Amino acid sequence: MSNIREHILQTTCNLMEKQGYHGTGLNEIVKESGAPKGSLYHYFPEGKEQITAEAVWQSGRMTAKRIQNGVSGGSNAAKAIHDFILNIADHVETSGFAAGSPLTAVAMETATKSERINLACREAYTLLETAFKEKLLESGFTKTKAEELGTFITATVEGGIILSRTYHSGNPLRTVAKHLKVLLSQ
């Protein structure tokens, strides 16, 4: 796959995790990525919607992988999930308060405005929920419980990201990590 194409997608992720969908312009993506300006519509003939949908989807796949690889042994979901969230907390602070993924902002902005992007966001969230669920299954949770907790954990992390970005501090995410660990260790 083209290098430039990948780089445009990565830049889109980086910008949208700070500014969201409407707050990020195509001119900004071109400029920031350093990609040849004429090539944007060559690689993404369907424009901004296509770029965003692909960026969201790719970001979801990468985040899910990070959850899966959290603890290789897989015997302790509580610790794996705890560490995963602490990593996001650090990232928020070291990146100038980026969200770690474009998903949170883009999902909110486009939920009722673009069917295509909304579909990509659903798929991305389902990947995250499933990754958490698998971790919990490995640790001995029942199927129903693992499924519901997968949703619960995803919601809590997303909300923690919003609070940490708003307060310009990783602490809300750290509080979330701490209490999720207690909940999952019981």
Partner DNA sequence: GTCTATAATACGATAGAC
Partner DNA sequence: GTCTATCGTATTATAGAC
Question: What whole-number distance in Å separates Cα of residue 155 and Cα of residue 185?
Answer: 19
Closer residue to a copy of itself in complex, CB, 62/182? 182
Shortest CA distance to 20 belongs to which of 52, 51, 44? 52
Looking at residues 38 to 77 of the shown chain, list those that interact with DNA (rule: CB under 7 A): 38-39, 41-42, 47-49
Q: Which is nearer to DNA, 80 or 120 (CB)?
A: 120
| Stretch near DNA under the rule CB under 7 A, chosen from 33-41, 87-95, 136-144, 159-167 | 33-41
Closest to a copy of itself by CB, 35 or 153: 153
Q: Which of 12, 90, 86, 89 is nearest to 44 (CA)?
A: 12
**Nearest C-alpha neighbor of 184 from the set 77, 66, 86:** 77
Q: How far is the C-alpha of 102 from the C-alpha of 99, rounded, in Å?
A: 7
- In the complex, the residues that contact a copy of itself under the rule CB under 8 A are 18-23, 96-97, 99, 104-105, 107-109, 111-113, 118, 121-122, 125, 148-149, 151-152, 154-160, 162-163, 165-168, 172, 175-176, 178-179, 183
Nearest to 12 by CA among 105, 114, 124, 118: 105
Residue 5: CB minimum distance to a copy of itself, A = 26
Q: C-beta of 68: minimal distance to a copy of itself in Å?
A: 20
For a copy of itself, which is the closer residue by CB, 39 or 175?
Answer: 175
Q: What are φ and ψ of residue 30, in 5° steps?
A: -60, -50
24 binding DNA? (CB under 7 A): yes
Of 14, 58, 56, residue with least CA distance to 32: 14
Contact yes or no for 31/15 (Cβ under 8 A) = no
Residue 4 found at the interface with DNA (CB under 7 A): yes
Among 64, 46, 58, 67, residue whose Cα is nearest residue 114: 46
**Minimum distance, C-beta of residue 44 to a copy of itself, in the bound complex (Å):** 21
Task: Work out whether 32 is an interface residue with DNA (CB under 7 A).
Answer: no
Interface positions with DNA (CB under 7 A): 2, 4, 24-28, 36-39, 41-42, 47-49
